[in-house]
């Protein structure tokens, strides 16, 4: 393929992605859930703290926040990575732990979204 055709396809793909993101934003706003309003989330640990001393954190409730970097769908579970100010950590998200409604919401999140997890 020529470079011109490749650039045209990339632009078309980018336009489709933007439209999907805009549609998701519009739906959230219609539901009264504006993602751009300021929200508070209390973080109890950074990714590196948990990874560097896992045994100390193992039996504790932990709250972390970061940017969603990857999601791998396994049907009734996901593996996901979030990156915070200190590093990156993997999450294991199961429908059995979240419940169907919260799991369905998680499935809608996109790479790049900023999330908080407990």
Q: What is the pTM of this model?
A: 0.74
**What pLDDT, in 10s, does the model give residues 62-80?**
999 999 999 999 999 999 9
More confident residue, 100 or 3: 100
For residues 11 and 19, the answer to whether their CB atoms sit within 8 Å is: no
So what's the pLDDT on residue 19? 87
3-state secondary structure 35-88: CCCCCCCCCCCCHHHHHHCHHHHCCCCCCEEEEEEEEEECCCEEEEEEECCCCE
Total residue length of the chain: 118
**What pLDDT, in 10s, does the model give residues 1-44?**
555 554 555 666 778 888 888 888 888 889 888 878 867 889 99
So what's the pLDDT on residue 74? 92
What does the pLDDT average to over 98-112? 90
What does the pLDDT average to over 77-104? 95
């Amino acid at each position: 393929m020529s470079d011109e055709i490749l650039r045209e396809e990339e632009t078309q793909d980018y336009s489709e992605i933007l439209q999907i993101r805009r549609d998701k934003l519009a739906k959230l706003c219609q539901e009264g859930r504006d993602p751009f309003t300021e929200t508070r989330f209390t973080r109890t640990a950074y990714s590196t703290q948990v990874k560097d001393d896992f045994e100390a954190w193992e039996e504790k409730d932990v709250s972390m926040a970061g940017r969603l970097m990857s999601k791998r769908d396994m049907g009734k579970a996901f593996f996901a990575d979030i990156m915070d100010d200190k590093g990156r950590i993997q999450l294991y998200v199961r429908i059995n732990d979240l419940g169907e409604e919260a799991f369905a919401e998680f499935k809608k999140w996109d790479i790049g979204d900023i999330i908080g997890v407990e």
